[in-house]
């Protein structure tokens, strides 16, 4: 069991380290003149920094992330409670 955990952790770490850093992308863009990858990376960084929306009383922010895109919506407390009551 422990070996499976170690293999999983190594795969996750390898996936995180696979892409070039922002500094490397910037250096490449200075040479090639193509800034599209730098702009995409900066947009993803900015999207991660966006705070959750301020929801009205009786609602909470529900955020989900898929492929680097984060979206947040306000969801009523009743909806959240209904989801948890279905799991019992």
Confidence (pTM): 0.43
pLDDT at 47: 73
d(CA 12, CA 2): 16
Secondary structure in 3-state letters for 32-84: HCCCHHHHHHHHHHHHHHCCCCCCCCCEEEEEEEECCEEEEEEEEHHHHHHHH
Which residues on neighbouring strands pair with residue 83, listed in sequence order?
Answer: none
51 within 8 A of 68, measured Cβ to Cβ: no
| Mean pLDDT split into 10-residue runs, the chain, 88 residues | 62 63 92 93 81 86 80 89 75
Q: Where does residue 33 fall: left (phi above 0), alpha (psi -120 to 50 degrees), or beta otherwise?
A: left
């Amino acid at each position: 069991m422990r070996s499976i955990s170690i293999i999983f952790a190594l795969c996750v770490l390898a996936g995180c380290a696979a892409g070039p850093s922002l500094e490397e992308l910037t250096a490449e863009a200075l040479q090639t003149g193509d800034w599209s990858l730098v702009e995409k990376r900066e947009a993803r960084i900015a999207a991660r920094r966006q705070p959750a929306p301020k929801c009205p009383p009786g609602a909470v922010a529900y955020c989900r992330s898929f492929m680097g895109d984060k979206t947040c919506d306000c969801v009523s407390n009743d909806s959240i409670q209904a989801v948890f009551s279905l799991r019992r």
